[in-house]
């Protein structure tokens, strides 16, 4: 809608096009225009809602020109009736069809000059929207270039499912409270208790930062409001390529710098820095997460609160987290929780993790809490944690671990390590404090201090029929004269090794027993190349992915010609269509049998076609180790990463 004194001749609406885009008011004409003759030089002047109504019924004027000379407040508009009812409740401003809002506007620039909400409004000048440009679609998203554009999204249901991009970095002025200090989420804020999920205003759109950042965002609800962050509620959305720097968020429940509460969404390449504090479910990036896919993201935020605190996520249910990290400290301020059914949890990456798989992640910050305190995860249930590690100082009272505080129910810890200093009262472990799952091919080399049940690897390896089955297999720790590798419990322990903390030397011949460990460079114990120790008695074994992630595929240490040869042998390998689950080999009857067993149960015609297309396709064993960027093939992108590390030693 055009406004008063800023309207110019070029802003006139000539209603030769108006038949395709008519203002429709179901009322009867009662007024006249303010002034003017309807020409371009002397347009009819409209000042009131009644004059707009008059226009809607005077078809003889639809080829004339008009100008608004004042703002019109439709909330005060009262329909006039004559004869039959005027259907005042059906006043509409329908422009074109819903599927094509530009019908009838040939030649109009809806990219840079005009905008319209399909089926809900008539054209307005883009300068009067809250954005720098765009239309909110995937092809032409709303463009955000200033803080006020972010604030324009708010809780408007007409915008929350649209597409948005940042044109540049957004910097809030720390010296201007009206432009800097907020008391609730800027986008889709919390609306109070007692509102059904289906009736809440949720952000369901796409937010693309285009690699830009939002700086100095400050939200302080005095620890009274829930669901606090740049976004409040996010559901079935995509957020990518955006950073939040030097932010501050303070709230009660579900508090995170990027979003307070997020579900069924995909998040990629996002980060945060600053301070996040609250009550329960507090994280550097997100507070509470449910069934999200999070990748290539990190946080350096300092996180504090009462329970379920994490450097990246406060609490996560289902979904997956990959290639993420957190470096900020996590600190419990007080304990508001009375129940021990779902215990307090404090983790360097995630506080409480329930059925959310973690892969290729790490945390390096200090973590301090009461119970369920871990360098990576405070507590975890029913998930796979793989190729991940944690360092830092981990302090708690019970269920304290260098990697995971409490791992209960079902799950696996695979190919992980902890190099943390761990201190606590009871159930304290260098890797896992209280364990009920399978821990395999892992190690812990940090200090352990406890005045109760403790172990250099696992504090309590718990077993009970039909309840818990703790297992520790093919793991090692450093010899500690105060603690055994396993502090207590009747769970299984197989092929575990204790190293000398004085010499820090391991003997390859001992660890390469036929029933034990699979090392790079040997095939007696398998060809998966799980462990690596290049020089006998030189150090202690490490996991292959600690080296291969930057191109040091084979012995000796450092990226050199032998690694280039390894890469060359796997050039353009792609896993035979991905059917081998990154294991290399040949697509043959084994894969066909697997397909048959799952026929029409998640597998079908597409899988059969893929199998046929790759029949007898062969790739080198463990080719995937050369896939440095993990895109499913070995190509020039991996060569570029390899080149950056040429002759590097780590």
Residue 431 near residue 406 (C-beta atoms within 8 A):
no
What is the reported pLDDT for 571?
A: 67
The DSSP result for 53-86, as a single string, is HHHHH-GGGTTSEEEE-S---GGG-----BSB--
Confidence of residue 126 (pLDDT cuts 50, 70, 90): low
Q: Does 308 score more than 50 pLDDT?
A: yes
Q: For residue 457, what pLDDT is reported? A: 95
Task: Tell me the pLDDT band of 392, cut-offs 50, 70 and 90.
Answer: very high
Give tens-digit pLDDT for 152-192. Answer: 898 778 899 999 999 999 998 877 655 567 899 999 998 77
Cross-strand partners of 286:
259, 313
| Highest-confidence segment of 143-157, 234-248, 492-506, 624-638 | 234-248
**Apex 397 CA angle, 396 and 399, nearest 5:** 85
Instruction: Name the pLDDT band for 205 (thresholds 50, 70, 90).
Output: very high
Mean pLDDT of 365-375: 97
Q: What are phi and psi for residue 422, nearest 5 degrees? A: -120, 130
In whole angstroms, give the CA distance from residue 485 to residue 398.
Answer: 18
> How far is C-alpha 284 from the geometric centre of its chain's CA atoms?
11
What's the first-to-final CA gap in the chain, in angstroms? 62
pLDDT for 301 beyond 70: yes
Q: Distance between CA atoms of 493 and 301, rounded to whole angstroms?
A: 38
Q: Average of pLDDT values for 76-89?
A: 38
Q: What is the mean pLDDT of the chain?
A: 78
273 pLDDT band, cuts 50/70/90, is very high
- Averaging pLDDT over each range in 38-52, 83-97, 564-578, which range is the top one? 38-52
- Count of CB atoms situated within 10 Å of the CB of 380: 32
pLDDT of residue 410: 86
Reported as a single tens digit per residue, the pLDDT across 425-452 is: 999 999 999 999 999 999 999 999 999 9
Strand (E) positions, 486-533?
486-488, 492-494, 497-499, 531-532
Any idea what DSSP says for residue 141?
P
- Between CA 435 and CA 406 the distance in angstroms is 6
Element (H, E) at 165: strand 163-166
Q: What is the pLDDT of residue 97?
A: 32
Q: Of 442 and 193, which is predicted with more confidence?
A: 442
Q: What is the pLDDT of residue 74?
A: 61
Q: Is the pLDDT of residue 122 over 80?
A: no
pLDDT of residue 575: 63
Q: For residue 537, is pLDDT > 70?
A: no
The pLDDT value recorded for residue 629 is 74
**Arithmetic mean of pLDDT, 465-469:** 79
- For residue 342, give the nearest of 281, 425, 400 by alpha carbon: 281
Q: By percentage, how much of the chain surpasses pLDDT 90?
A: 43
- C-beta separation of 413 from 381 below 8 A: no
Position with higher pLDDT, 551 vs 272:
272
* Per-residue confidence (pLDDT) for residue 52, from 0 to 100: 76
Structure-block tokens of residue 256: 């995170």
What would the pLDDT profile of 339-349 be if each residue is shown by its tens digit? 444 568 999 99
364 pLDDT band, cuts 50/70/90, is very high
The pLDDT tens digits of the residues spanning 551-600 come to: 787 787 777 778 777 777 776 666 665 444 444 555 556 555 555 555 55
Mean pLDDT of 546-553: 78
């Amino acid at each position: 809608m055009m406004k008063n004194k800023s309207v110019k001749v070029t802003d006139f609406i000539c209603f030769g096009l108006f038949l395709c885009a008519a203002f429709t008011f179901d009322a009867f004409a009662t007024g006249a225009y303010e002034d003017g003759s309807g020409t371009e030089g002397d347009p009819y002047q409209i000042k009131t809602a009644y004059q707009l109504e008059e226009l809607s019924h005077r078809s003889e004027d639809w080829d004339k020109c008009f100008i608004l000379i004042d703002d019109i407040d439709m909330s005060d508009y009262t329909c006039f009736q004559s004869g039959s009812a005027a259907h005042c409740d059906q006043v509409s401003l329908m422009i074109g069809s819903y599927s094509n809002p530009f019908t009838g506007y040939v030649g109009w620039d809806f990219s840079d000059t005009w905008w319209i909400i399909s089926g809900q409004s008539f054209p307005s000048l883009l300068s009067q929207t809250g954005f720098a440009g765009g239309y909110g679609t995937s092809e032409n998203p709303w463009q955000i270039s200033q803080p006020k554009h972010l604030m324009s999204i708010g809780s408007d249901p007409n915008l929350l499912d649209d597409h948005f991009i940042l044109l540049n970095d957004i910097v809030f002025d720390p010296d201007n409270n009206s432009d800097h200090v907020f008391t609730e989420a800027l986008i889709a804020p919390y609306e109070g208790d007692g509102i059904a999920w289906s009736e809440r205003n949720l952000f369901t759109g796409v937010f693309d930062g285009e690699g830009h950042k939002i700086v100095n965002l400050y939200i302080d609800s005095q620890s009274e409001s829930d669901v606090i962050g740049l976004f409040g509620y996010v559901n079935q959305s995509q957020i990518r390529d955006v950073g939040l720097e030097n932010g501050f968020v303070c709230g009660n429940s579900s508090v995170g710098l990027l979003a307070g509460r997020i579900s069924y969404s995909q998040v990629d390449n996002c980060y945060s820095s600053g301070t996040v504090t609250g009550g329960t479910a507090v994280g550097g990036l997100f507070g509470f997460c449910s069934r999200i896919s999070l990748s290539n993201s990190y946080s350096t935020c300092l996180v504090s609160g009462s329970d379920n605190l994490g450097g990246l996520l406060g609490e996560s249910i289902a979904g997956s987290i990959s290639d993420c990290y957190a470096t900020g400290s996590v600190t419990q301020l007080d304990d508001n929780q009375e129940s021990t059914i779902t215990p307090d949890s404090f983790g360097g990456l995630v506080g409480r993790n329930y059925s959310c798989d973690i892969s290729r992640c790490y945390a390096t910050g200090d973590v301090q809490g009461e119970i369920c305190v871990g360098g990576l995860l405070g507590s975890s249930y029913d998930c796979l944690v793989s190729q991940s590690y944690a360092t830092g100082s981990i302090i708690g009272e019970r269920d304290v671990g260098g990697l995971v505080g409490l791992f209960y129910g079902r799950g696996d810890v695979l190919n992980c390590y902890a190099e943390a200093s761990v201190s606590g009262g009871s159930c304290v472990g260098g890797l896992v404090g209280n364990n009920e799952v399978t821990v395999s091919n892992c190690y812990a080399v940090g200090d352990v201090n406890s005045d109760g049940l403790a172990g250099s690897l696992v504090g309590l390896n718990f077993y009970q029929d039909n309840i818990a089955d703790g297992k520790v297999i093919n793991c090692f720790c450093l010899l500690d004269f105060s603690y055994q590798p396993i502090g207590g419990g009747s769970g299984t322990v197989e092929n575990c090794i204790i190293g000398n903390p004085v010499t820090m030397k391991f003997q390859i011949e001992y660890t390469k027993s036929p029933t034990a460990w699979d090392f790079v460079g040997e095939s007696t114990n398998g060809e998966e190349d799980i462990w690596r120790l290049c020089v006998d008695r030189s150090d202690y074994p490490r996991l292959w992915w600690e080296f291969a992630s930057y191109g040091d595929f084979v012995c000796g240490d450092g990226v050199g010609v032998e690694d280039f040869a390894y890469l060359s042998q796997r050039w353009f390998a792609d896993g035979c269509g991905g059917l081998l689950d990154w294991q290399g080999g040949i697509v043959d009857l084994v894969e066909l049998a697997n397909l048959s067993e799952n026929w029409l149960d998640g597998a079908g015609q597409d899988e059969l076609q893929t199998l046929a297309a790759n029949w007898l396709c062969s790739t080198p064993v463990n080719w995937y180790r050369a896939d440095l960027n993990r895109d499913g093939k070995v190509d020039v992108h991996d060569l570029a990463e390899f080149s950056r590390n040429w002759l590097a030693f780590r």
